[in-house]
């Protein structure tokens, strides 16, 4: 019996999905080790210092994940070794305290502009880049990604607090990005939102997260109505400068399916009624902490045709009669109420609500 060639072994490996089985396969002999490395498509790195040792065995990787601290030289090596990368997940699972401890005790500098720019240059096929909590990532890195990665569809910059409107200007020129996360990017202003609303990206963007971007106002939010295919919008905790003026503009986004307006304390029933009437495709809305919203606004969802998830936590101006009307919404599957109201809503009423949808307390 003749030995199996690399091509035959590759075909066999296509049917081996379990990582432990692939590891056993690679331990048979040097040939099988090589073939397993050449056919590996994804990797999760736990010890970045070992990247120069093991990564050359996987030149055809499409998915790279490292949710630990990693340096610029590490990523420069990745860019040279794995040029076919399509998905880069560097979302960091560390707290602010761990960041400060790292800086003070070790002198280690987490990845920033140089490493991300090297990846943008070396891996032009990147389509999904997740950089949450990478505090050294700034405008230069984002501009490099926007200009060099023509297939980029998802960009997560949540809590990259050095990113400002200059980076948004580059992103606005993209005609491929569909998902964009700017959570807690507090340097972004109304100018950045205007760029998103008027640039090429306005034709492709489907999900936009602006939670905790507290420099934006009604002026910027009103521009978002020009993003013609936006389906998900998160404006939670963007501050008191967003009022019904901006809320009414949001209500004109007829394509919206998911909307988070949590803790926008100056939004009132005017906005809620307009959203209920105009956003006919809406599936989920979060009104947590919108203290000016009352039963008058909430009742407007009673005849909504697609709403499935309604969050009213920390909304105290709602009574039992309002709830009885809301649950008439035939599409409603889940409603979230403030746990402080639980003792004030009689058990028969809770049972009545539960007949129509699941009742949750928060």
Q: Which residues pair with 64 in a beta bridge?
A: 43, 88
Q: Which residues pair with 156 in a beta bridge?
A: 130, 181
* CB-based contact 300:273 (threshold 8 Å): yes
How many Å apart are CA 224 and CA 241, to the nearest integer? 15
CA-angle at 134, arms to 185 and 166, nearest 5°: 45
User: Which string of DSSP letters, residue by residue, matches 311-349?
Assistant: EETT--B--HHHHHHHTT-TT--EEEE-GGGGGGS-HHH
User: What is the C-alpha radius of gyration for the chain, rounded to an integer number of angstroms?
Assistant: 25
Task: Tell me what the mean pLDDT of segment 154-169 comes to.
Answer: 98
Residue 16 pLDDT greater than 70, yes or no: no
* CB-based contact 56:36 (threshold 8 Å): no
User: Domain-by-domain residue ranges, the chain?
Assistant: 1-39
pTM: 0.91
Residue 320 pLDDT greater than 60, yes or no: yes
At 10 the three-state DSSP class reads helix
pLDDT in tens, 168-181: 999 999 999 999 99
Supply the pLDDT for residue 105: 56
Supply the pLDDT for residue 104: 56
Residue 13 pLDDT greater than 70, yes or no: no
How many Å apart are CA 131 and CA 159, to the nearest integer? 9
Query: Where does residue 213 rank: exposed (0-12), middle (13-18), buried (19+ CB within 10 A)?
Result: buried
How many Å apart are CA 178 and CA 197, to the nearest integer? 13
pLDDT in tens, 81-140: 999 999 999 999 876 566 566 555 566 789 999 999 999 999 999 999 999 999 999 999
User: In the chain, what percentage of residues exceed pLDDT 90?
Assistant: 81
Supply the pLDDT for residue 25: 61
Top-confidence residue, 216 or 101: 216
Helix then strand then coil, % of the chain, to nearest 5: 45, 15, 45
Dihedral Cα 8, 13, 14, 20, nearest 10 deg = 180
Task: Tell me what the mean pLDDT of segment 16-43 comes to.
Answer: 70
Nearest to 152 by CA among 193, 117, 180: 180
Helix 139-148 × helix 165-172 angle, to 10°: 0
Say which residues have a Cβ less than 8 Å from residue 178's Cβ, sequence separation at least 6: 153, 154, 204, 205, 206, 207
Residue 306 neighbours by CB distance under 10 Å: 15
Q: 93-102, 193-202, 316-325: which has the minimum mean pLDDT?
A: 93-102
Indicate the class that CATH gives domain 1-39.
Answer: mainly alpha
Residue 2 pLDDT greater than 50, yes or no: no
CA-angle at 79, arms to 76 and 83, nearest 5°: 170
Nearest to 118 by CA among 151, 141, 136: 141
Which tokens belong to 4? 């199996």
Supply the pLDDT for residue 5: 61
Beta strands in the chain, from DSSP E residues, in sequence order: 42-44, 63-65, 87-89, 128-130, 154-156, 179-181, 207-209, 232-234, 258-260, 284-286, 309-312, 334-337, 358-361
Residue 210 pLDDT greater than 60, yes or no: yes
Mean pLDDT in the chain?
Answer: 91
Residue 314 pLDDT greater than 80, yes or no: yes
Residue with tokens 């720019």: 117
pLDDT in tens, 51-70: 999 999 999 999 999 999 99
Residue 259 pLDDT greater than 90, yes or no: yes
* CB-based contact 85:110 (threshold 8 Å): no
Supply the pLDDT for residue 41: 87
Supply the pLDDT for residue 163: 98
Residue 309 pLDDT greater than 50, yes or no: yes
Task: Tell me what the mean pLDDT of segment 203-220 comes to.
Answer: 98
């Amino acid at each position: 019996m003749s030995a199996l060639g690399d091509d035959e072994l590759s075909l066999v490996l296509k049917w081996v999905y379990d990582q432990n089985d692939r590891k056993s396969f690679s331990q048979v002999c040097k040939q099988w080790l090589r073939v397993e490395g050449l056919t590996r498509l994804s990797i999760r790195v736990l010890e970045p210092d070992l990247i120069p040792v093991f990564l050359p065995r996987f030149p055809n990787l499409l998915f790279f994940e490292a949710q630990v601290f990693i340096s610029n030289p590490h990523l420069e090596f990745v860019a040279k070794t794995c040029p076919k990368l399509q998905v880069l997940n560097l979302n960091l699972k560390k707290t602010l305290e761990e960041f400060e401890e790292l800086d003070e005790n070790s002198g280690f500098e987490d990845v920033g502009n140089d490493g991300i720019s090297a990846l943008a240059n070396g891996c032009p096929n990147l389509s999904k880049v997740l950089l949450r909590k990478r505090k050294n990532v700034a405008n230069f890195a984002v501009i490099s990604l926007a200009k060099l990665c023509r297939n980029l569809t998802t960009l997560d910059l949540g809590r990259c607090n050095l990113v400002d409107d200059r980076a948004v200007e580059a992103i606005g020129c993209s005609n491929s990005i569909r998902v964009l996360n700017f959570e807690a990017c507090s340097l972004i202003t109304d100018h950045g939102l205007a760029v998103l609303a008027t640039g090429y990206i306005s034709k492709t963007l489907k999900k936009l997260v602006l939670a905790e971007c507290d420099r934006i106002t009604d002026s910027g939010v009103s521009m978002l109505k020009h993003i013609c295919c936006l389906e998900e919008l998160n404006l939670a905790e963007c501050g008191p400068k967003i009022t019904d003026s901006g809320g009414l503009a949001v209500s004109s986004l007829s394509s919206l399916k998911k909307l988070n307006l949590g803790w926008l304390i100056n939004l009132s029933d005017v906005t809620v009624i307009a959203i209920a009437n105009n956003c006919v495709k809406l599936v989920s809305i979060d009104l947590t902490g919108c203290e000016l919203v009352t039963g008058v606004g909430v009742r407007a969802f009673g005849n909504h045709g697609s709403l499935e998830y309604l969050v009213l936590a920390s909304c105290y101006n709602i009574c039992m009669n309002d709830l009885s009307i809301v649950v008439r919404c035939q599409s409603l599957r889940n409603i979230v109420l403030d746990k402080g109201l639980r003792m004030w809503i009689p058990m028969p009423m809770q049972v009545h609500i539960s007949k129509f949808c699941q009742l949750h307390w928060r």
